[in-house]
Amino acid sequence: MSWRSKRLGLFSGRESASRRAIYKGCGYDDEDLSRPLIGVVNTANDAGLGHVHLDRLAARVKAGILQAGGTPFEFGTIATCGAVPIGTPHFRYELVIRDVIASSVEIMAGVQLLDGLVLLASCDSIIP
């Protein structure tokens, strides 16, 4: 099944007006919604050395998606630096962080009706 057939009825007709309105309120138009919707999952934050550069990389990824004929949708997810809590009780969170990240990405991709994903991460403790 192609991406077009999967979403064919999801962005057309009266019954989909509210769905289109949500995306149009974010600045997208009918042409944007007619192309493959590609999520760009960005773990950028200012709390870890491995994450501070990812916004610049995300901008290039989104430009590439546009150039290839898709519509990029960037969103973030939790990203910790596992080196910070070493030796403290908080290090136990590193055991579950990958599952939390994978679940949050899966939920966003499904709810937002995305056709594909590009995941940006640079630390081993957060790569699902």
Give DSSP secondary structure letters for the chain: --HHHHHTTTSSSGGGHHHHHHHHHTT--HHHHHSPEEEEEE---SS-TTTTTHHHHHHHHHHHHHHTT-EEEEEE-----TTTTTTSGGGGGGGTHHHHHHHHHHHHHHHTT-SEEEEE---GGG--
Which range marks the domain in which residue 117 is found? Answer: 36-126
Per-residue pLDDT of the chain (128 residues), as tens digits, is: 455 545 667 888 888 899 889 999 999 998 999 899 999 999 998 888 888 899 999 999 999 999 999 999 999 998 888 888 888 988 888 888 889 999 999 999 999 999 999 999 888 777 75
Q: How many domains, in total, are found in the chain? A: 2
Same domain, 41 and 80: yes
In the prediction, which pLDDT does 41 show? Answer: 96
Task: Tell whether 47 and 87 lie within a shared domain.
Answer: yes
Residues 65 and 2 occupy one common structural domain: no
Q: Could you tell me if 3 and 41 lie in one domain?
A: no
Q: In this structure, are 59 and 120 located in the same domain?
A: yes
Whole-structure pTM value: 0.86
